[in-house]
């Protein structure tokens, strides 16, 4: 069967991976890339798949959700992962690459492929040729962004993200916090961390002193009032936060019977409530500062951060409203969106978006089965996040992959009468079991797609890691995955 090519706009992490996957399935590609003719403020070279900032693709261990995502990508035949491993530089437990070697090799592979036609130049409107994939990233050029906004509604295309931190449920001190919605309206969906006056003053002083990420010149003073970094509010006056995200009105601490001086409210990030978002605490503090400052909040002294806050330039769509699960625009059939502009965050997640979009679209064009990845996998978790209604006031926000994007392990069967209560599984073991489950399910999905899994060179099956761990020694009772209440 001769097929018309798929037009892919943007040769970054997502576009390059999508192009490679389409061609592996046998569908030709025209890849449009505007650099070097038109530049962005962050890209400096002219190669495809440029890493614009850090050279790290983050943790490689299967105990990290991003480690699992990388392994899944590798097994699914990701070109980004294959080249990254070849260009690897020492980085402890992370996968970091020689950025120039990485982009050069990606470019050479793609340009040399007879099925991919790389066309230089800026694309200023959504192509009439369908299907097409928009993979123009966080710095999508203005003309195309304006055209997309016109089609989807300007209110559904963001130019900045405002990300609040997420903490794991089992790292919250449940003896300090309580569940209540303001004025007891609706269900008790919020978890409240109370601060007395002295605790608020200490917190505020720490916020004001904390080291912040410096804005790029073009970003200065462009914050929207609805999603200000909370430390900008703190700088406006000592009481501003008390009228903003820390306002205590309508709340009574059941342990004191009084309204606290200030609160920090948390809201569940996933249906199973394994992770909580600090509502309104989008932040530009540096990550170590965030850890230190947020741990001053009563109830969060031992918080484990699954994601830190951020506010930066980022063109992205309100994915849950605009995209179906195959990343196709509901309003424009045949127009697909992949990578950061589709609402994921990070190099690896963007490559994953490109891989999914490329494989599934190409297979549909070839009339072959194209099931979505299982929700237990990290690849499936990315789709879950993109389809989930937003919990943040500022609307849908892009996210790195976290364990909160995949369902928790099922609870163990209740003990037989007279048997001990199951022990709570250690976090490390829980994640390894989740990785084990994911890779098992991935195998079935890859089988359905006719793809032979290729484990990465550093792959250690999670079951082997568990077997080597002390925690796998026989226990007195069964193990449970239960998180905090």
Ligand X SMILES: Cc1cc2nc3c(=O)[nH]c(=O)nc-3n(C[C@H](O)[C@H](O)[C@H](O)COP(=O)(O)OP(=O)(O)OC[C@H]3O[C@@H](n4cnc5c(N)ncnc54)[C@H](O)[C@@H]3O)c2cc1C
- Chain residues binding ligand X by CB under 6 A are 9-15, 32-35, 40, 42-43, 52-54, 122-123, 135-141, 144, 313, 339-341, 346-347, 350
CB 25 within 8 A of CB 364: no
Sheet hosting strand 178-179, strand order edge to edge: 178-179, 190-195, 262-268, 275-278, 166-168, 305-307
**Phi, psi (deg, nearest 5) at residue 118:** -90, 120
Shortest distance (Å) from residue 31 CB to ligand X: 9
Shortest distance (Å) from residue 76 CB to ligand X: 17
Shortest distance (Å) from residue 124 CB to ligand X: 6
CB 368 within 8 A of CB 327: no
Q: Which is nearer to ligand X, 357 or 409 (CB)?
A: 357
Shortest distance (Å) from residue 113 CB to ligand X: 18
Q: Which is nearer to ligand X, 345 or 436 (CB)?
A: 345
Q: Which is nearer to ligand X, 73 or 262 (CB)?
A: 73
Residue 325 three-state SS: coil
Tokens 């849908």, located at residue: 396
CB 398 within 8 A of CB 161: yes
Euclidean distance between CA atoms 246 and 241, whole angstroms:
5
CB 42 within 8 A of CB 64: no
Euclidean distance between CA atoms 214 and 211, whole angstroms:
9
Strands 275-278 and 262-268 turn out to be: antiparallel
* Helix or strand run (H / E) with residue 294: helix 287-294
Two tokens, residue 425? 């599984």
Shortest distance (Å) from residue 396 CB to ligand X: 16
Shortest distance (Å) from residue 149 CB to ligand X: 13
Shortest distance (Å) from residue 278 CB to ligand X: 22
Q: Which is nearer to ligand X, 277 or 340 (CB)?
A: 340
Shortest distance (Å) from residue 383 CB to ligand X: 16
Q: Which is nearer to ligand X, 15 or 407 (CB)?
A: 15
Sheet hosting strand 88-89, strand order edge to edge: 56-59, 94-97, 88-89
Two tokens, residue 265? 């409210």
The conformational region for residue 136 under phi > 0 = left, psi -120 to 50 = alpha, else beta, is alpha
**Residues 6 or more apart in contact with residue 316 via CB below 8 angstroms:** 138, 157, 158, 161, 340, 341, 342, 343, 398
CB 154 within 8 A of CB 68: no
**Residues 6 or more apart in contact with residue 120 via CB below 8 angstroms:** 32, 33, 34, 37
**Residues 6 or more apart in contact with residue 384 via CB below 8 angstroms:** 375, 405, 406
Q: Which is nearer to ligand X, 39 or 427 (CB)?
A: 39
Shortest distance (Å) from residue 134 CB to ligand X: 9
Q: Which residue is nearest to ligand X (CB)?
A: 12
Q: Which is nearer to ligand X, 137 or 299 (CB)?
A: 137
Two tokens, residue 280? 């309104």
Q: Which is nearer to ligand X, 119 or 325 (CB)?
A: 119
Q: Which is nearer to ligand X, 68 or 123 (CB)?
A: 123
Shortest distance (Å) from residue 377 CB to ligand X: 20
Q: Which is nearer to ligand X, 55 or 454 (CB)?
A: 55
Shortest distance (Å) from residue 66 CB to ligand X: 9
Q: Which is nearer to ligand X, 124 or 271 (CB)?
A: 124
């Amino acid at each position: 069967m001769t097929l018309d090519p798929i037009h892919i706009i943007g040769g970054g992490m997502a576009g390059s991976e999508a192009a490679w996957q389409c061609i592996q399935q046998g569908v030709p590609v025209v890849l449009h890339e505007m650099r070097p003719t038109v530049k962005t403020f962050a890209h400096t070279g002219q190669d495809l798949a440029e890493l614009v900032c850090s050279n790290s693709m983050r943790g490689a261990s299967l105990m990290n959700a991003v480690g699992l995502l990388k392994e899944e990508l590798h097994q699914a035949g990701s070109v980004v992962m294959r080249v990254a491993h070849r260009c690897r530089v020492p980085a402890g437990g992370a996968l970091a690459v020689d950025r120039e070697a990485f982009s050069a090799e990606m470019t050479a592979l793609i340009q040399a492929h007879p099925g991919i036609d790389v066309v230089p130049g800026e694309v200023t409107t959504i192509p009439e040729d369908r299907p097409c994939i928009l993979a123009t990233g966080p710095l999508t050029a203005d003309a195309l962004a304006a055209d997309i906004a016109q089609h989807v509604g300007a209110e559904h295309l963001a130019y900045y993200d405002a990300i609040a931190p997420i903490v794991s449920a089992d790292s919250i001190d449940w003896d300090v916090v309580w569940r209540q919605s303001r004025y007891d309206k609706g269900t008790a969906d919020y978890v409240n961390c109370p601060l007395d006056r002295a605790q608020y003053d200490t917190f505020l002083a720490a916020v004001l002193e904390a080291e912040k990420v410096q804005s790029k010149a073009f970003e200065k003073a462009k914050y929207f009032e609805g999603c200000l970094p909370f430390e900008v509010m703190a700088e406006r006056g000592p009481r501003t936060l008390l009228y903003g995200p820390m306002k205590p009105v309508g709340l009574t601490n059941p342990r004191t019977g009084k309204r606290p001086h200030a609160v920090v409210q948390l809201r569940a990030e996933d249906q199973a409530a394994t992770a909580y978002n600090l509502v309104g605490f989008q932040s530009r503090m540096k990550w170590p500062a965030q850890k230190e400052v947020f741990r001053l909040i009563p109830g969060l002294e031992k918080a484990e951060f699954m994601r830190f806050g951020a506010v930066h330039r980022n063109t992205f769509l309100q994915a849950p409203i605009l995209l179906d699960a195959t990343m196709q625009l509901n309003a424009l059939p045949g127009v697909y969106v992949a990578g950061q502009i589709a609402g994921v965050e990070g190099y690896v997640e963007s490559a994953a978006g490109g891989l999914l979009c490329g494989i599934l679209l190409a297979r549909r064009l070839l009339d072959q089965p194209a099931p979505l990845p299982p929700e237990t996998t990290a690849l499936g978790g990315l789709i879950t996040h993109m389809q989930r209604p937003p919990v943040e006031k500022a609307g849908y926000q892009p996210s790195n992959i976290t364990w909160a994007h995949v369902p928790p392990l099922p609870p163990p069967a209740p003990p037989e009468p007279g048997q001990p209560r199951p022990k709570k599984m250690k976090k490390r073991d829980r994640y390894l079991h989740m990785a084990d489950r994911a890779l098992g399910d991935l195998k079935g999905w890859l089988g359905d797609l006719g793809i032979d899994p290729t484990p990465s060179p550093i792959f250690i099956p999670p079951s082997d890691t568990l077997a080597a761990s002390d925690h796998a020694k026989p226990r007195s009772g069964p193990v449970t995955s239960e998180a905090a209440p």
